[in-house]
Structure 1
Amino acid sequence: MTFAHMVINESLRISSTSPTVHRIIDHELQVVDYTIPAGWIFMGYPCVHFNPEKYDDPLTFNPWRWEGKDLTAIVSRTYLPFGTGSRLCVGAKFAKLQMAIFIHHLSRYRWSMKTETTVLRRFMLMFPGGSDVQISQDTKVDNSVGY
């Protein structure tokens, strides 16, 4: 299931389950040219997932970028799909298990998204016109990718 874990990690990197992180600032914080006063609620986005200094070609879906890395990690300094610290989602491992089961069953079929589908990358992936996916049964399933 190594490749499935790589696909799950990349899916969570591209579209985080925690699109914003809310924190109450306990002391004045300087962010570039802006000062955020103590007591304000700060809403940060996990943009580190799209930082080209951390991930090569960050806007491209590439599960192979996880090859040779710890696939069981839920969070790191540059990968935080389930929040971090005391607010780490208690269901993180359960969510990854559900994704693995879904991928396992989906791999029995061929599926594709229509090329004219509009995909917007905002605080999360959005499909303003819906997501038209075509699914057909694949009689020759390639299990060589590690399922």
Structure 2
Amino acid sequence: MSIAFRLGAQLTDIGVEPLFHSLLSTVAVQLEHGSWGSCFPHVMFELCRGALPAQHADAAWRELEDIRRKLRQLTPGAAIWDYSDLARESPWGKALGAGVTCLANYHVTTDGVPLLDVMLERVAALKEAGGTLEIVQVDGIAPFYYSA
């Protein structure tokens, strides 16, 4: 299943749900010592469950900055694919993309942009625009066509 961030009418592609779950699983295991949401409640409880309100955007942005800073210190080999099954490996095994140097840039969107960078950008947009940042399923949505 493909998912995206939705803020108002704007969709920002995340990619497949298991990749997003892997990032959150990595945070829970490597940074929160297996206690989901204990250090990063706005990201791990609100955003990951699909809805982050604007009044929590500042706190979530600070959490994401802290997550990115800490994941920069960990090697790609420390990635967790599934919080519920720590033995599960990524679908591509141990192969890594050329630009992967740490856990902060291990998880990338379908556009090749580090997922944490996209999350920070979307939360910053939420702070400015207000409303709610949501995670939505995008499978089955017809392609967009633009005319000049």
- Is the TM-score greater than 0.5? no
Compare relative contact order (CA 8 Å, sep 6+) and give the higher one, 1 or 2: 2
Of structures 1 and 2, the larger Rg is shown by 1
The alignment's TM-score, normalised by the length of structure 2, stands at 0.29
